[in-house]
Homo-oligomer: A and B are copies of this chain.
Amino acid sequence: KSGEMAKLAQLVDNDVFRAYATYTTIVLLKMMLMSLITAYFRVTRKAFANPEDTASFGKGESAKKYLRTDADVERVRRGHQNDLENIVPFLGIGLLYALSGPELSTALLHFRIFVGARIAHTFAYLIPLPQPGRGLSWAVAYAVTISMAYKVLKTALYL
């Protein structure tokens, strides 16, 4: 059993895989932060989606008025959704890319730009910055994922 553990440890000892683990964890934590920001705006803006969430504001009509959408809440939720749409491909393609034997420096470049661009995207969405700030940060992370996908298909293609 300790032999197996050693084998697994070798995977985590590999620098490219460690970089993937680090940047993936960071960008997933960033995505998870969106839940907290949504909750913060729901509470401060008093804008909820479920009747049971407004029960503490009293019963009947007095609570019902808090079942509503709020522009700030919806903005955070759109940012969260955009994270899902873009970080899920990174999660899968990035893992396969890390296993496809890229140069460490090239891999780091991909991971750093992707995570930097997604963090910039969140700021651009939440502040919000004028366009093309958000669009550009989205496109950079998108292009990095395409570049990793190209390397995966070039290395591993088996149809």
Main SS at interface, chain A: helix
Chain A interface (Cβ < 8 Å from any Cβ of B): 1, 4-5, 7-19, 21-22, 24-25, 28-29, 31-32, 34-35, 49-50, 52-53, 55-56, 75, 78, 80, 84-89, 91-93, 95-96, 99-101, 128-131, 134, 142, 145-146, 149, 152-153, 155-159
Give the chain B neighbours of A31 by CB distance below 8 A: 85, 88-89
Contact of A156 among B21, B84, B96 (CB under 8 A): B21
Give the chain B neighbours of A53 by CB distance below 8 A: 131
In this complex, what residue of B is CB-closest to A98?
B8
Contact of A129 among B52, B91, B101, B158 (CB under 8 A): B52
Contact of A10 among B7, B13, B22, B153 (CB under 8 A): B7
Give the chain B neighbours of A153 by CB distance below 8 A: 22, 25
Q: Is the CB of A13 within 8 A of B4?
A: yes
Give the chain B neighbours of A156 by CB distance below 8 A: 12, 17-18, 21-22
Contact of A9 among B22, B87, B93, B101 (CB under 8 A): B101
Give the chain B neighbours of A75 by CB distance below 8 A: 50
Q: Is the CB of A155 within 8 A of B12?
A: yes
Contact of A101 among B5, B35, B86, B87 (CB under 8 A): B5
